[in-house]
Structure 1
């Protein structure tokens, strides 16, 4: 009996028991740690997968909205190219917008949009529009074209500037009509128009009402304008009816997103043939543009980009 007890409490046997228990404990700890790590990794991977899916969906929706809007907003501004770079938790798109100045591409601005897996998209332009007097605007050192609502009446414009430019200069000009015309009339009078301005009827009515209540001459001079970069319209193709139809289609897409200008224009008509055109953008040499026919239809002339040639 005593010998048996001695065997049980033998130091070597006790150490073996401790070693086995320690090994089991370590093995259990390692297995639990690996299991927890695996579960945590799986949860993180699942979270990142759905977060990236959500970000990609956000990119697709936001990009489609921006591209749809860029097709109809911004006088003579065309989307040129896009590049996308991805990070661990974000993605960045770089987009370039250009103007066509009598066949010469002119970079107007670059736009960067940051997408994050946990935040809404943020868009930043590389340059902004500036003005000293609230009438003449500039971007990247170049003039920004303006339009003037037909109901705002006549105002000092850039006709003299256009006449005094070097004859071979490549120039962009925005023409605002005294009275809105239909698409068919536009094709007859200005077949070479590059871009067509469709005035926002709600904003035009609001400005007309404000003008009636303003008596200060200087303040009235600054009213009734639309900066070209914020104007709505469409690129003029050879088939003007197709161009106006695409414009209506884009407006209807934006209307579903509760876009106020789209809602306003469509409230007046959804028929492309009934669109009221309030102005156009033309490009060419200074001598060509200063001797335009049909100047009797024009209320306001605004010179934009000028490229010495």
Structure 2
């Protein structure tokens, strides 16, 4: 298939020469790999790396992380988005300490038992942290496979069984080679075989690419980007920014206040960062039902708590 060994060698050779020097590659602890994989879900490397480095410096082991409060973890998560991921890492760390003597489990099956760890993350950690031969399939890998093998501009809108079988069929039998292949195809999709502007002239296997051979046909569908402006997600993010900035509960009235009301609220027993975050929330001009939904969702997801004094991060 695809020239067999030659294609694998070409892609892996390109990876060794062109891959980014990322801190969770080569010599990183299994804990560091696990944290990176969760942070990188739906979040670009440029945003993840500084936060990951701060986390590894502050919480270098699952035990140190599990001992931290959820509120402080959410505060340190910052603006990575989808903050429930932070709570999943915390729950996974707690189980690692309680059931695995503080060591990240080293098999796909054991990793899959950790809270918040799905099949992709379990396979990625088993492969990249422990050198296991696992089929790793993310968005970048799916896109490379779709073009290189199938001749389609984009993979199916959702992961299919046929894609998983193709990825398994393409995986080298040697464990070390399979790990490098997974990382190399993922990197090829991230840097060269990109979704919108592929750099085909730089591709190490362009002469083998079925999509190029077919004349680079257009996609059969247009991916729908996730809206942000005006959505409940934007409001939730703005509220979370307020709670992260605060060192005391935020009274509900402040979340609803206009800038004028906020300026006359005295004394405002919060740091200046809170006023800034509140100002950004108020600038959204959110209507009552949407803010109520956002607050209810944050409470339901365990990202916020409500006490007699107001809203705050979980303890």
Band the TM-score falls in, shorter-chain normalisation: under 0.3
| Structure showing greater Rg | 1
| Structure that is richer in helix per residue | 2
| Structure that is richer in strand per residue | 1
Question: TM-score, structure 2 length as denominator?
Answer: 0.21
Question: TM-score, structure 1 length as denominator?
Answer: 0.21
